[in-house]
């Protein structure tokens, strides 16, 4: 009975750790420092971060060094507001967060007697300070503008990255008959690639590769392809990690529709 309970506790502990680890690959964070006109740190200033798509708001206070960190923010546009008694309110945005890339702000407050509000309409530099992974991000604009024909599979975005080599059609049917995008990254095997949707693995059980096709680019907020120096949470791939992040939606009902047509008469002539 004691051994049984020990193994049960160990399994629960492992499950909790695995859940926390997966959550790190779907979010980003906003950090920064707050100073007064004399470059001294402003302590206990209220920092609010508002998602411009959902109006969800998070708040925190600056520490003794004037620093603040707001973690685990979904990708998307944000507005940052900093308030402190005796100083003008500071507002900056839109700040567009990317997957695994943190925004770093340097806020300088003004004395409230000079102006009531300071608004900065600018994005913030995005940094990856958490790890040394090498990869490329495809935001919503690139997803909508890059060609994904003939089936609009967003996994084809990987073919635009350096070090990615597509395989021939006959190799697709032999190795992965159900896959629509088959590629090798940095010379690694096909089954070394790991496909993820919102931080969860979605691979074929037999030979890995994509298991769930995403043929509607309008559903996707961002795609990140990691090709080297994988972080610890990516434990199921040595070739590449293709992480697809879906959109969160918004407060206003909206939708899109598209029609796609392709046939042999519209195709360019083959060089074979």
Q: What are 68-118's pLDDT values in tens digits?
A: 999 888 888 899 999 999 999 999 988 888 877 788 899 999 888 656 777
Mean pLDDT of 174-181: 54
CA distance 120 to 91: 6
Supply the pLDDT for residue 9.
43
Position with higher pLDDT, 63 vs 257: 63
How many structural domains compose the chain?
2
pLDDT in tens, 259-269: 777 777 777 77
Strand order of the β-sheet with 240-246 is 134-138, 220-228, 240-246, 193-197, 200-201
In whole angstroms, what is the distance from residue 22 CA to residue 33 CA? 28
Give percent of the chain with pLDDT exceeding 70.
73
Could you tell me if residue 12 is inside a domain?
A: no
Let me know if residue 21 belongs to a domain. Answer: no
Tell me if 8 is assigned to some domain: no
pLDDT above 60 (res 20): no
- Main-chain dihedrals φ then ψ at residue 92, nearest 5 degrees: -135, 135
The last residue of a domain, from among 75, 110, 127: 127
Give the model's pLDDT for residue 169.
52
Q: Which residue segment(s) compose the domain that 58 sits in? A: 29-127
Q: Is the peptide bond before 150 cis (omega within 30 degrees of 0)?
A: yes
- Is residue 205 a part of any domain in this protein? yes
Q: Taking a C-beta distance cutoff of 8 angstroms, is the pair 236, 196 a contact?
A: no
Same domain, 163 and 184: yes
Q: Are strands 46-51 and 27-35 parallel, antiparallel or unpaired?
A: unpaired
**Cα gap 30→103, rounded to integer Å:** 5
Flag whether 266 is in a domain: no
Same domain, 238 and 166: yes
Euclidean distance between CA atoms 167 and 208, whole angstroms: 16
Of 138, 139, 107, nearest to 124 by C-alpha is 107
Q: Which range is least confidently modeled, 18-27, 40-49, 84-93? A: 18-27
Same domain? For 120 and 162 the reply is: no
CATH number of 159's domain? 2.170.130.10
> Which of the residue ranges 15-24, 149-158, 185-194 would you say has the lowest mean pLDDT?
15-24
Domain closes at, from 127, 146, 174: 127
Query: Would residue 259 count as lying in a domain?
Result: no
């Amino acid at each position: 009975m004691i051994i049984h309970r020990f193994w049960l506790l160990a399994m629960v502990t492992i499950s909790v750790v695995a859940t926390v680890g997966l959550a790190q690959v779907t979010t980003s964070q906003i950090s920064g420092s707050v100073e007064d006109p004399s470059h001294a740190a402003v302590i206990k200033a209220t920092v609010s971060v508002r998602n411009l798509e959902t109006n969800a708001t998070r708040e925190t206070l600056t520490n003794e060094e004037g620093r603040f960190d707001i973690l685990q923010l979904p990708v998307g546009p944000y507005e940052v507001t900093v308030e402190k008694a005796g100083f003008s309110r500071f507002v900056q945005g839109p700040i567009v967060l990317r997957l695994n890339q943190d925004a770093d702000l340097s806020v300088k407050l003004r004395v409230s007697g000079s102006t009531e509000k300071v608004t900065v309409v600018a994005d913030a530099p995005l940094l990856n300070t958490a790890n040394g992974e090498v990869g490329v991000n495809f935001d919503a604009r690139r997803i909508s503008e890059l060609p994904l024909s003939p089936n609009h599979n967003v996994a084809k975005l990987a073919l635009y990255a350096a070090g990615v080599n597509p395989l021939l059609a006959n190799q697709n049917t032999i190795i992965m008959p159900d896959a629509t995008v088959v590629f090798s990254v940095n010379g690694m095997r096909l089954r070394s690639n790991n496909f993820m949707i919102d931080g969860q693995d979605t691979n074929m059980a037999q030979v890995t590769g994509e298991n769930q096709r995403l043929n509607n680019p309008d559903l996707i907020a961002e795609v990140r392809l990691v090709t080297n120096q994988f972080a610890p949470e990516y434990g199921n791939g040595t070739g590449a990690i293709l992480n697809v992040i879906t959109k969160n939606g918004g407060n206003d009902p909206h939708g899109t529709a598209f029609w796609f047509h392709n046939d042999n008469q519209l195709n360019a002539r083959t060089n074979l």
